[in-house]
């Protein structure tokens, strides 16, 4: 039976629900905790009042949508919430697969982590539109991945869609291609990221 979080509960379902609910609360009300322009050192230095003020700033600056607390989470949204800490790595893996043509021809390719090479061998569709200037670094790959995740917005509620860009706020945003979002690649990348963090 599906619970309020939108997924079937096993015997340990109560603790899963508590964890999921806590994760949703952090994503909704503590964007400063994952906003990419601030480091973990910054976060440790903040007082509770400073953190609250920075969260208020982000809510206003990015027009972050509120969440209807009564709306259940779909299974897909629950998976994204559970994998939120791995979202940046997942986007990197996804970009490596989508832009494999440019990446393999780039000087940075040989120095990328083996887990990126392994994900590229999984055989996901390569984008017809490759970055014209190539991919200069792993950081550029992260930026491409973050831009690709913008296409996830139609598949998730507004409160989540409005926050997807925040873990990539330190990256220049490349122009998006117009190809459909590859959900199977994204789910595989999210799972791969949980096993192989970058």
Of 110, 194, 115, 190, give the one whose Cα is nearest residue 148.
190
Contact 42, 110 (CB under 8 A): no
Of 81, 100, 77, 101, give the one whose Cα is nearest residue 27.
81
pLDDT given for residue 177 in this prediction: 59
In a domain, 166, yes or no: yes
Domains held by the chain: number = 1
In a domain, 3, yes or no: no
Of 132, 126, 136, 137, give the one whose Cα is nearest residue 101.
126
Percentage of residues of the chain with pLDDT beyond 90: 72
List the single range of 48-52, 118-122, 146-150, 157-161 with lowest mean pLDDT: 146-150
In a domain, 47, yes or no: yes
122 is in which domain, residue-wise?
13-195
Residue 178 pLDDT exceeds 90: no
CA distance 45 to 65: 27
Contact 153, 20 (CB under 8 A): no
Task: Report the mean per-residue pLDDT for the chain.
Answer: 87
In a domain, 20, yes or no: yes
CA distance 140 to 37: 16
pLDDT given for residue 70 in this prediction: 75
* Numbers of helices and strands, H then E, in the chain: 10, 0
Query: pLDDT band for position 16 (50/70/90)?
Result: very low
In a domain, 32, yes or no: yes
Tokens of 115: 């887990």
In a domain, 169, yes or no: yes
Rounded to two decimals, the pTM is 0.85
Q: Averaged over 12-38, what is the pLDDT?
A: 80
């Amino acid at each position: 039976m599906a619970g309020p979080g939108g997924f079937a509960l096993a015997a340990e379902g109560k603790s899963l629900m508590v964890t999921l609910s806590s994760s949703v609360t952090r994503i909704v009300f503590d964007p400063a905790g994952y906003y990419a322009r601030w480091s973990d050192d910054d976060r440790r230095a903040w007082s509770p009042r400073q953190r609250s003020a920075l969260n208020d700033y982000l809510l206003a600056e990015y027009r972050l949508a509120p969440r209807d607390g009564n709306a259940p989470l779909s299974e897909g949204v629950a998976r994204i919430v559970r994998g939120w800490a791995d979202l940046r790595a997942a986007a990197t893996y996804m970009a490596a697969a989508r832009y494999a043509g440019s990446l393999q021809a780039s000087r940075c390719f040989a120095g990328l982590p083996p887990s990126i090479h392994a994900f590229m061998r999984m055989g996901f569709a390569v984008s017809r539109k490759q970055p014209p200037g190539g991919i200069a670094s792993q950081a550029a790959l992260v930026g491409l991945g973050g831009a690709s995740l913008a296409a996830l917005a139609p598949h998730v509620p507004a409160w989540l869609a409005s926050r997807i860009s925040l873990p990539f706020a330190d990256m220049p945003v490349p122009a998006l291609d117009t190809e459909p979002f590859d959900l199977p690649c994204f789910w595989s990348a999210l799972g791969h990221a949980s096993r192989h963090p970058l």
